[in-house]
Amino acid sequence: MANLKELSQQETLFTGGHRACSGCGFPILVRLVMTVVWRPVVVCVATGCLEVTSTIYPQTAWKCPFIHSAFPNAASTLSGVEAAYRSLERQGRISEKFSFIAFGGDGGSYDIGLQALSGAMERGHRLLYICYDNGGYANTGIQRSSATPRGAATTTTPPGQVIPGKPQARKDLTAIIAAHNIPYVAQAAISHHIDLIAKVEKALSKEGPSFINVMAPCRLIWATPPEETVEVTRHAVECNFWSLYEVDEGEWRLTYRPRVEKSFREWLARQGRFKHLFRGDHEDILKELEEEVAERWRRLKELCKVE
């Protein structure tokens, strides 16, 4: 893995001066990723908060070739770029090795971009797709996505007499992509930067497609103070809501295990999007959510062959 002291002094390909909100999670993610890229890279970003805040014409925060694609097709767009590169390589017209990285939010990855993402993974393009998962459609007004946890309040799942927040459980996109049997799949978080950096380096070393799902909170969706973004992400990992693992050439492996597991219920209570669950008679929902987290953690340990 890259030396962290050296990385701290290395110029990143994603600059400051973007328009992301104070306390936003994805600038932390992108700066880390773009600091460890050691060879020429082409980046494609789907329409969303990352694109809107980093490429307001005529300025850009990207110091590398950059393509803005529509909401659902970042993976398809970058697939075409990678295919064109391989054609030029076969013709002997280019010899320099390039990396290809696509970024998409959970709305553009879990939902309307899933078909394009799945196709790129199945076709075997040598690219890294990174989903910055903030649990909702932040750019268009905080609507629910299939990454939104059950019980969360959004503008399309407002808690009240009809529903107590989002009724459905969140989709497990990491496991869905792992089912494509690609060389590398991982789950990471902005709170655990060493783990994240190691996974990005490993993903970029693969000759086929790779995918990393990264928890990068939107403090507006989560309704948390901007200074708590990293700590509330760390809490999500420590309470086993967002586990850190990888599937490397088909082998499942935990990359982090909490020494002392924190309270999942306390993690919910830290976020305004769940405050309604702590008012009135919602004890049954809280217990069900705790049981869901415990069961997912049990299944993951089973897949990783750990006790």
Is 104 strand, coil or helix? Answer: strand
| Phi and psi at residue 129, to the nearest 5° | -105, 125
Domains held by the chain: number: 1
Nearest C-alpha neighbor of 63 from the set 53, 73, 55: 55
**Residue-level pLDDT at 12:** 86
For residues 75 and 39, which has the higher predicted lDDT (pLDDT)?
Answer: 75
Q: Look up residue 257 and give its two tokens.
A: 């295990």
- pLDDT tens per residue, range 243-298: 999 999 999 999 999 999 999 999 999 999 999 999 978 999 999 999 999 999 99
100 residue type, one letter: F
The span from the CA of 235 to the CA of 268, in Å, is: 10
Does residue 28 fall inside a structural domain?
A: yes
Is 217 inside any structural domain?
A: yes
In this predicted structure, the answer to whether residue 1 has a pLDDT above a threshold of 70 is no
Q: Is 4 contained in some domain?
A: no
Q: Report pLDDT for 171.
A: 96
Q: Which domain holds residue 150?
A: 9-303
User: Over 90: is that where the pLDDT of 10 sits?
Assistant: no
The pLDDT score that the predictor gives to residue 165 is: 97
Give the pLDDT band of residue 38 (cuts 50, 70, 90).
Answer: confident
> Per the domain annotation, does 1 fall within a domain?
no
Residue 234 counted as domain residue: yes
Q: Is residue 51 part of a domain?
A: yes
Q: Is 0.95 topped by the overall pTM? A: yes
Burial class, 303, CB count within 10 angstroms (exposed 0-12 / middle 13-18 / buried 19+): middle
Lowest-confidence pick of 8-22, 133-147, 157-171: 8-22
Task: Categorize the per-residue pLDDT at 182 as very low, low, confident or very high, splitting at 50, 70 and 90.
Answer: very high
User: Could you tell me what percent of the chain has a pLDDT over 90?
Assistant: 93
Give the model's pLDDT for residue 26.
Answer: 97
Closest-CA residue to 18 (of 58, 57, 61, 52): 61
> What is the length of the chain?
307
Flag whether 3 is in a domain.
Answer: no
- Confidence band, pLDDT 50/70/90 cuts, at residue 148: very high
As a whole number of angstroms, the distance between CA 134 and CA 143 comes to 12
Reported as a single tens digit per residue, the pLDDT across 78-128 is 999 999 999 999 999 999 999 999 999 999 999 999 999 999 999 999 999
Read off the CATH number of the domain in which 297 is found. Answer: 3.40.50.970
* Cβ-based neighbours of 20, under 8 Å, separated by 6 or more: 26, 27, 49, 50, 53, 54
The H-or-E segment that residue 164 falls in is none
Confidence of residue 242 (pLDDT cuts 50, 70, 90): very high
